[in-house]
Structure 1
Amino acid sequence: MEQRKPSESSVIMTELVLPNDTNLFGNLMGGRLMYWMDIAAALSAGKHCNAPVVTASVDNISFESPIKLGNVVHIEARVTRSFNTSMEVHLKVWGEDLTHQYKYKSNEAYYTFVALDPNRKPRTVPALTPETEDEQKLFEGALRRRQLRLILGGKMKPNDATELKALFQVQ
């Protein structure tokens, strides 16, 4: 199976915040944004492995700035690392106020997807080869984030998380 580059999984999704997307304060509802993020992340993971994918986990999503009614949402997604059958996708979300001509960061998150074969069973995905320094940092951190997800999900014992433990060991 040939290796892929993060740029090959890049997706930019754009949405306009309409009244039905907002809460009582005129801000984009968090659930709506998470829905759009899940779609963008699934498109990115699907591009990486050329197969159907399902969401396995969503990491903490912190909202830095609200996105207002009438603003544009830009969601940037790309695979940061692939494992055996799963892929981590990093998302950055930007709001854009077209009237005042400025763009601002709203939030970012990591989603994990699993690729499926025709029988809806997990299938192997291509390896990822980072090209830039930023891609390399995300790639290296992905193993620690994965171990944390597995511990929190009860699928790994903390003592088995060697990458995480290495962060706290004094040399």
Structure 2
Amino acid sequence: MRIKRFSALVLCVLMALQLFGCALIENIKNDPKNLEKPDAEKIFEYIKDEDIDSLCELFSPEVKKNHDLEKEWEEFFEKMDGKAVSYKKLSFPNEGVGKDENGEVYKMHVAVNYNSVKTDKGTVYEQFGYQHIRVSESDPDSVGLLTFTMQDPDTGEWTTVGER
């Protein structure tokens, strides 16, 4: 009797995995946070290295066309007290995914915050952050970073690179 119950339970679990497993995998595959985390780590390395060329390349064609990103990054780094060396954790305060009736992603965006960013001079910024359009079928020129921001810990003044 116990073997029958156990076999029935195993069969139910296998059927549930077969039915719902693909959807779960698809959701994980299209999760903006999972997709963005490696990019966020790479972007922070660019910030640490003050690699303006690489940072400029990440912005959307639309933002590149309307901003002098190189100048804005130079101002950003001039306002920072020292060089960024670390952050405590990443957070994702905003994200969104649009899918059509076939499950194909036609729009995806995510906002990323680096919390407690520390510089080599010991200054701690509450957060640096950026907004990223990962997919936009309706407006391909908007794909890329839109903004990158930093708030001065003393004055509360925001420094923004990109769209304002």
TM range (shorter): 0.3 to 0.5
Query: Please, what TM-score do these two structures have when normalized by structure 1?
Result: 0.32
Greater share of helix residues, 1 or 2?
2
Report which of the two structures shows the higher radius of gyration computed on alpha carbons. Answer: 2
State the structure with bigger RCO (CA 8 A, min sep 6), 1 or 2. Answer: 1
